Amino acid sequence: MHVLKFGGTSVGSVENITKVIQILEDYKKSQPVICVVSAVGGITDKLLKAGHLAQTKDESYLSEYKTIKDIHLNILSRLIPNVDKAVSDKLNTKLDNLKSLLDGIYLINELSPKTSDKLVSFGELLSSYIITETMKSKGIDVVRKNTQELIITNDNFTKAEVNYNTTYKNIQEYFSNATQSATILPGFVSKSQQGEITTLGRGGSDFTAALVASALEVDTLEIWTDVSGMYTANPKLVKQAYPIKKLSYQEAMELSHFGAKVLYPPTVQPVLDKNIPIVIKNTMEPDADGTYIAHEQTNNLTVRGISNINDISLLTLEGSGMVGIPGFSKRLFEVLANHKINVVFITQASSEHSICFGVNKADANQAKEKIDQAFEYEITQHKINPIVIETDLSIVALIGDNMKSHQGISGKMFSTLGKNNINVRAIAQGASEKNISAVISEHDVKKALNTLHEVFFEVKTKQLNVFITGVGNVGERLVEQIKQQKKYLKDNLKINLRVIGLSNSRQMVFDEDGISLKNWKAVLSTGETASLEGFFKTAKALNLRNSIFVDVTANKDVANLYANYLKESIAVVACNKIACSDTFDKYNQLKYLSRKYNAPFLFETNVGAGLPVIDTLNNLIASGDKVTSIQAVLSGSLNFVFNNFNDTTKFHDVVKQAQAEGYTEPDPRIDLSGVDVARKILILARESGTVMELEDITNDSFLTKANLESNSVDDFYKTLIDDEAHFQKLFAQANEKGSKLKYVAEFNEGKAKVGLKEIPQGHPFYNLEGKDNIVMFYTQRYKEQPMIIKGAGAGADVTASGLFADIIRIGND
């Protein structure tokens, strides 16, 4: 005998019911089939909604009823186009009975648990009727048997407990006499010993099937649903989740208890007792393997699945009066048991100063009221405090039989949560170590599941979620480089780099699943109005793991928001130099936040564009070296200017050309005044461990007073024309000595200065070409011969690749 159960989605549409019948016909070829069916998908919820509306005297229960009626009549008429009148009359009579029940609830405005069970039982009774009649109309030898005549329970309405002896006897007796090749059974419904309608709890059709399978001691119990098995995590929340091939009964039970809705938790016990395996299959993909659940599995994987339960409230009983006095927890849990309040989670610190436990949100207030009543005396004596409730929490649990023999799993779990700024409110680990649970804010569930899934199941790929502000010259190249390298990164570095947010000064767009970079400019042009605050708020609200904010602007207001990002554990990558060259306090504060919130703050492109200057410096220091002196040419634009300026060119024209080719800041005065170079040497000095401010740097400007006092860029260019003789003199003086002009930054014995220098032949700076930069680090280890880094130090492409490298550094972390 085959026992198969089909869930709500599987019997939720004409197409799916047709698939179900096809599967049953195939199975029937070898042995008779018993098929347990759920209500049509969503009907149980609709019945309850109609009931609650009627109970509150809301006449819209009638329209809810009408929807329920239409759904069923429509399915029947499409499944059996020329349906017999007798069949449709019978369906209509059942629907009329449902209406009378709802009218009654409306009339007396009361919906007791007993009436609620009567109400919801219609779901399975209707679906099983329709499916049976459809099969009959196809000439299949099928009988519908009402499970209320087989499954007998106590009168704990809405979640009744089964009387196994009677139930098994009934099932065995019925099937020993049954001759049909197919039997349809409504799931979920049952009757009490007194003959009242009861149900087995939400999701209970799985349990009905388990009871039948166990009573008849069949070979396997098949649960057919809308996903291809029990997944490593809820596939609706974790896209990368995949079906688990094999699980032990214990693991399946833990996963379902902790939220894997695909299997109703009580389902496991009856089949476990008889050693009957459970197979979870997908009606929509019958050929997929699904999940096989049986006694001990030989699989060595430690963590087998991650599940979550939402709508949890955490209650804390606390007080010095509890320490060392036995009986408190007994009294506490007795109160809860007496009021049938289910405790999902318990922890007690070894100081015994407090007991913390989790209940469903719906039970929290009643639990507090009853416990405060029970401990009234101790509360008035100030021995303990009234219960404190925290709401909007969820439990996230790692499940696996083999976790107990592996150290470090909980460490990895909590450090992963911590790194992603997910605050853990309470922790529990069962003595069997099959389950490690953490209580976190409901807001963080999706992020927690995805990061944990990544760490425990996808070790090989890391998702980076990037938010880019500023898609001008450099930003545009960055996006293009990401687009081009996406596949390479995935294949070779196992990094899944996704651009989630993009903004220029006018518009911004977001896509939680990653913006398609194919025509990102068009997508951005349809975006909402840009705002720096709005960009931050969305990045925060999306709450994605490994989020990185990339600042490709030169804007002070953007730099002022880094602290906000870091506090949300969002990494910051910037080519904008403003933050790092602001006051030392501000720079230091950002460094501190980066450490505190585990969010990298990287700004390699602040010095030497794509050259690995800061990274090299950081590595020298991390390995115990000490910087004694730095000599550098750090301005690609000034180098370009002085390499092209001579007695045949004009200073003004050369500067104009540098700007036109994108080597200068938008305001060339920032470069020519030396401020840009001063900022860079300041950052290198600070990264070398020196406390320094921009004002501490000596800046002997080569510009004239008129150049420096110009009050606009245009004005500045005019003064360059007027002062051509001054610049020609600087060139001639150097040229006479066979030297070249270079703008040099120096850091020595804790002091820094910037200025134009005449560099003699033979000096490492002498042959520095085009817009190149050079940095020479003298350290304790590199005493005589400095560590030299040299190469293109300006330009959109190299700056973009420097930003890219910072992003990848975070990915490789």
Q: Binding residue for ligand ADP (CB under 6 A) from 27, 231, 603, 777?
A: 231
Taking the complex as a whole, the smallest distance from the CB of residue 129 to ligand ADP amounts, in Å, to 18
Q: Distance (Å, rounded) from C-alpha 129 to C-alpha 134?
A: 9
123 binds ligand ASP (CB under 6 A): yes
Q: Binding residue for ligand ADP (CB under 6 A) from 133, 222, 226, 476?
A: 226
Residues numbered 583 to 622 that lie near ligand ASP (CB under 6 A) are none
From residue 205 to residue 244, what is the string marking binding to ligand ASP with x (rule CB under 6 A)? Answer: xx--------------------------------------
Select 124 or 746, whichever has its Cβ closest to ligand ADP.
Answer: 124
Q: Distance (Å, rounded) from C-alpha 722 to C-alpha 719?
A: 5
231 binds, among Mg ion, ligand ADP, ligand ASP, none (CB under 5 to 8 A by kind): ligand ADP
796 CB-near residues (< 8 Å, 6+ apart): 473, 474, 476, 477, 662
Question: Which stretch in 3-11, 267-275, 289-297, 584-592 sits in contact with Mg ion by CB under 5 A?
Answer: 3-11
Nearest CA to 7 out of 279, 206, 198, 183 is that of: 206
Secondary structure E strands in 38-175: 142-144, 152-153
Q: Kind and range of the H or E element at 611?
A: none
Select 189 or 792, whichever has its Cβ closest to ligand ASP.
Answer: 189
End-to-end, the C-alpha distance of the chain in Å comes to 55
Query: 465: burial class by Cβ within 10 Å (0-12, 13-18, 19+)?
Result: buried
Whether 361 is a known active-site residue: answer no
Neighbour count for residue 415 (Cβ, 10 Å): 13
204 binds Mg ion (CB under 5 A): no
233 CB-near residues (< 8 Å, 6+ apart): 241, 305, 306, 307, 308, 449, 452, 453, 457
Three state DSSP letters for 179-197:
CCCEEEEECCEEEECCCCE
Residues numbered 182 to 201 that lie near ligand ASP (CB under 6 A) are 187-188
235 binds ligand ADP (CB under 6 A): yes
| Residue 104 in tokens | 């009654």
Q: CA–CA distance from 37 to each of 185, 540, 750 (Å)?
A: 6, 43, 79
501 binds ligand ASP (CB under 6 A): no
481 CB-near residues (< 8 Å, 6+ apart): 800, 801, 804
Taking the complex as a whole, the smallest distance from the CB of residue 37 to ligand ASP amounts, in Å, to 9
In sequence order, the β-bridge partners of residue 248 are 294
188 binds, among ligand ASP, ligand ADP, Mg ion, none (CB under 5 to 8 A by kind): ligand ASP
Nearest CA to 607 out of 584, 566, 574 is that of: 574
Query: 631: burial class by Cβ within 10 Å (0-12, 13-18, 19+)?
Result: buried
Q: Distance (Å, rounded) from C-alpha 93 to C-alpha 91?
A: 5
Select 91 or 162, whichever has its Cβ closest to Mg ion.
Answer: 162
Taking the complex as a whole, the smallest distance from the CB of residue 160 to ligand ASP amounts, in Å, to 13
Q: Binding residue for ligand ADP (CB under 6 A) from 54, 260, 356, 409?
A: 260
Question: Which stretch in 75-83, 229-237, 435-443, 731-739 sits in contact with ligand ADP by CB under 6 A?
Answer: 229-237
| Residue 215 in tokens | 């009573």
Q: Binding residue for ligand ASP (CB under 6 A) from 44, 134, 190, 402?
A: 44
Taking the complex as a whole, the smallest distance from the CB of residue 5 to ligand ASP amounts, in Å, to 8
Q: Binding residue for ligand ADP (CB under 6 A) from 262, 322, 371, 478?
A: 262
234 binds ligand ADP (CB under 6 A): yes
Q: Which of 46, 136, 680, 740 is catalytic?
A: 680
Select 450 or 639, whichever has its Cβ closest to ligand ADP.
Answer: 450
Q: Binding residue for Mg ion (CB under 5 A) from 51, 203, 204, 243?
A: 203
38 binds ligand ADP (CB under 6 A): yes
Residue identified by tokens 């393997």 is: 289
Instruction: With CB under 6 A as the rule, give the number of residues binding ligand ASP.
Output: 13
202 binds ligand ADP (CB under 6 A): no
DSSP 317-377: EE-GGGTT-TTHHHHHHHHHHHTTPPEEEEEE-TT-SEEEEEEEHHHHHHHHHHHHHHTHH
Which spans of this chain sit near ligand ASP (rule: CB under 6 A)? 7-8, 38-39, 44, 123, 187-188, 202-206
Active-site amino acid positions: 680
Which spans of this chain sit near ligand ADP (rule: CB under 6 A)? 7-10, 38, 203, 225-227, 230-231, 233-236, 260-262, 305, 307
Which spans of this chain sit near Mg ion (rule: CB under 5 A)? 7, 203
